[in-house]
C-alpha cells in the first residue's frame, strides 16, 4: 500500500493519520487535497462500523485507492447506548454542541453520577479495491458529568469524565486527551494491523 485517502476535511485528524502512516512509507491524501469535489455521502448505516464503511467504500470506488474513514460518537449506558450514531445531530440536524449537551443532561437529570457510565467510540474502516473492508474500534470509558466543565475540545468533551480522572475531556490539554482518546485507541489497533500486513 503506497497511497491512502483519509475521508475527512478535518485538518487535525489528517495530521494524526499522516504521522501514523509516514512510518510505513504510505503517502496520505485527504479530501482537502483532492481536486474533484466529493459529494456529501449520506451515512445511512445502523452502526459506527456501517457508517464508516459507507464513506470508505464509496470513495475507494471513486478513486480505486485504499480509503480510511471513521465514524465516532458517545454511548450512554443509562440511555441504552444513545446518542450513539446520532451523537452529532442529537438535538437536531444543525449539529449544535451546546444543544446536544443540554438534551443529554436533561435526559440524565434523574440518573446519579455513578450510574452515568458512558464511552466515546471510534470505528475506523479501511476500504481497499477488490478486498474486504477492515474495521478497527477504539473506546474511551468514563462517566457523564452533572454540568459542563472546561473549554478545550468539542462535542461532548465538557460533560465526559474519562475513567480515573477528576477532569472532563474539555479540561485536559490536547496532549493529555490524545493519549487516552477513542480515536487514539482505534489508531493503536490500526497500527497493529499495519505492522502485520
What lies within 8 Å, CB to CB, of 159 at 6+ separation is 101, 104, 105, 144, 145, 147, 148, 149, 168
Please check if 174 is assigned to a binding site.
no
Burial of 172 from C-beta contacts in 10 A (0-12 / 13-18 / 19+): buried
Nearest to 123 by CA among 132, 140, 139, 136: 136
Please check if 177 is assigned to a binding site.
yes
Please check if 3 is assigned to a binding site.
no
| Residue corresponding to grid cell 449544535 | 96
Please check if 42 is assigned to a binding site.
yes
Please check if 48 is assigned to a binding site.
no
Please check if 8 is assigned to a binding site.
yes
Please check if 135 is assigned to a binding site.
no
77 is catalytic: no
Positive/negative CA dihedral, 30, 61, 43, 140: negative
Catalytic residue among 71, 77, 80, 166: 71
Please check if 115 is assigned to a binding site.
no
Q: Residue positions in the annotated binding site for Mg(2+)?
A: 42, 71
Q: Residue positions in the annotated binding site for substrate?
A: 8-13, 72, 154-157, 177, 182-183
Q: Residue positions in the annotated binding site?
A: 8-13, 42, 71-72, 154-157, 177, 182-183
Q: Active-site residue numbers? A: 71
Amino acid at each position: 500500500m503506497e497511497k491512502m485517502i483519509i475521508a475527512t476535511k478535518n485538518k487535525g485528524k489528517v495530521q494524526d493519520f499522516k504521522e501514523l502512516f509516514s512510518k510505513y512509507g504510505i503517502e496520505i491524501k485527504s479530501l482537502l487535497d483532492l481536486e474533484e469535489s466529493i459529494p456529501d455521502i449520506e451515512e445511512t448505516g445502523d452502526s459506527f462500523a456501517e457508517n464508516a464503511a459507507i464513506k470508505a467504500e464509496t470513495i475507494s470506488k471513486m478513486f480505486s485507492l485504499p480509503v480510511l474513514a471513521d465514524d465516532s460518537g458517545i454511548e450512554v449506558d443509562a440511555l441504552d447506548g444513545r446518542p450513539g450514531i446520532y451523537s452529532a445531530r442529537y438535538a437536531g440536524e444543525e449539529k449544535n454542541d451546546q444543544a446536544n449537551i443540554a438534551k443529554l443532561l436533561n435526559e440524565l437529570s434523574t440518573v446519579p453520577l455513578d450510574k452515568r457510565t458512558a464511552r466515546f467510540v471510534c470505528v475506523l474502516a479501511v476500504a481497499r479495491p477488490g478486498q474486504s473492508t477492515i474495521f478497527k474500534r477504539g473506546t474511551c470509558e468514563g462517566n457523564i458529568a452533572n454540568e459542563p466543565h472546561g473549554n478545550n475540545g468539542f462535542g461532548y468533551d465538557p460533560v465526559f469524565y474519562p475513567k480515573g480522572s477528576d477532569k472532563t475531556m474539555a479540561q485536559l490539554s490536547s496532549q493529555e486527551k490524545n493519549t487516552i482518546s477513542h480515536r487514539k485507541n482505534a489508531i493503536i489497533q490500526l497500527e497493529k494491523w499495519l505492522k502485520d500486513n
